Copies of this chain bind each other. A is one copy, B any other.
């Protein structure tokens, strides 16, 4: 008997009709002799609705309150999904993040899971129940509700799968798996049968929204096999797993893009030791993630331009902080550009192949696209470009690296 964790995203539980379909899929998995734990997201649109309501009240909602607000959506879905499973005649029981023993740190709206006490889940499974867990949430040491950030329900599912040594963690969404590029932009993008954790991690962090990055990290660390597939049909999906020999033959596995970026530049900041630390400590203190950082070499005036990117949602706060620090440091000023996008190529094979970066830059150059920032890791290369060229860039790179063919 296998233990399977199934996570259903917002579009998979968008209305009561979809929730009933989820219940059928769950019960049919159980009917094949498996133990099943279900993790659900908020119904599509609910989280946006909560953010809109908060936005009508204040531009700077308190994050503790935001978490209480946001966590409500998943609770609603878990109760409704549980009812739908019970309606089929199968025993079922809902669990909030707290009831499933998910303890997080206190970084409200982007909390990290510190521990899970799965005893109540085990008990429910032993009693033949199908547990339905509200994803995305936990509580901190003060017993306050926390949330894990957008897509956090994936992390809930993987964390539960890891805690209970589940045989698989199935992530159901509205796409059939992980594609070489976004099929809405690249019509001949191809669904991959498998992808390594590391590649998936890069895809996720670079803007491919199919899986939450932290979930992939958690899965890698605990070696939980992840299967990404659609809840709208029965196609097999993409297996996210450990690297194997075959994978390394492919140089570039996939492309990712991300429009949710803003570039902030501090102009002519004095080039002395500790400057970068001063700036990025201040930003980190505000719990804002900085993505790419580029510092040019110092010129005659012994000053330099320092650029970095943050998520659009953080741009207002990041700008405030940067302007404050910029004043203290005596730089010339701060500029901001929200019309940027990041395109990236990913592949474990890159490690043993030369010329991949050059091919990327040449492809973009031939398409007449200027590169603003570059960042590389062992298995990915990212370029920040003008957002208006993003789709052109993605299509050109998909062609250039021949991703439509296996």
On chain B, the residues within 8 Å of A94 by CB distance are 64-65, 68
Convert A47-67 into 0s and 1s, putting 1 for each residue whose CB lies closer than 8 angstroms to a CB of B.
Answer: 000100110111001101110
A356–chain B nearest beta-carbon distance, Å: 48
Known: A143-B99, A144-B99. A53 touches B80 (CB 8 A): yes
- Residue in contact with A82 in the complex, picked from B16, B62, B86, CB distance below 8 Å: B62
Convert A337-350 into 0s and 1s, putting 1 for each residue whose CB lies closer than 8 angstroms to a CB of B.
Answer: 00000000000000
On chain B, the residues within 8 Å of A259 by CB distance are none
Q: B145–A56 contact, CB under 8 A?
A: no
A75 on the interface (CB 8 Å rule)?
A: yes
Q: A80–B54 contact, CB under 8 A?
A: yes
Q: How many residues on the A side are at the interface (Cβ–Cβ under 8 A)?
A: 38
A38 on the interface (CB 8 Å rule)?
A: no
In the assembled complex, the Cα of A17 lies from the Cα of B57 at a distance in Å of: 8
Q: A79–B75 contact, CB under 8 A?
A: no
On chain B, the residues within 8 Å of A331 by CB distance are none
A191 on the interface (CB 8 Å rule)?
A: no
In the assembled complex, the Cα of A53 lies from the Cα of B15 at a distance in Å of: 8
For this chain, the copies found in one complex come to 2
Known: A57-B19, A86-B62. A80 touches B69 (CB 8 A): yes
A192 on the interface (CB 8 Å rule)?
A: no
Q: A16–B57 contact, CB under 8 A?
A: yes
In the assembled complex, the Cα of A87 lies from the Cα of B76 at a distance in Å of: 28
In the assembled complex, the Cα of A71 lies from the Cα of B54 at a distance in Å of: 19
A381 on the interface (CB 8 Å rule)?
A: no
A137–chain B nearest beta-carbon distance, Å: 11
In the assembled complex, the Cα of A61 lies from the Cα of B20 at a distance in Å of: 14
Q: B58–A86 contact, CB under 8 A?
A: yes
Known: A57-B16, A68-B94. A50 touches B76 (CB 8 A): yes
Which are the 5 A-B pairs with shortest beta-carbon distances?
Answer: A69-B79, A16-B56, A68-B79, A72-B72, A65-B79
On chain B, the residues within 8 Å of A180 by CB distance are none
On chain B, the residues within 8 Å of A144 by CB distance are 99
Q: A83–B65 contact, CB under 8 A?
A: yes
In the assembled complex, the Cα of A20 lies from the Cα of B57 at a distance in Å of: 7
Q: A83–B96 contact, CB under 8 A?
A: no
A84 on the interface (CB 8 Å rule)?
A: yes
On chain B, the residues within 8 Å of A86 by CB distance are 58, 62, 65
In the assembled complex, the Cα of A175 lies from the Cα of B244 at a distance in Å of: 70
A78 on the interface (CB 8 Å rule)?
A: yes
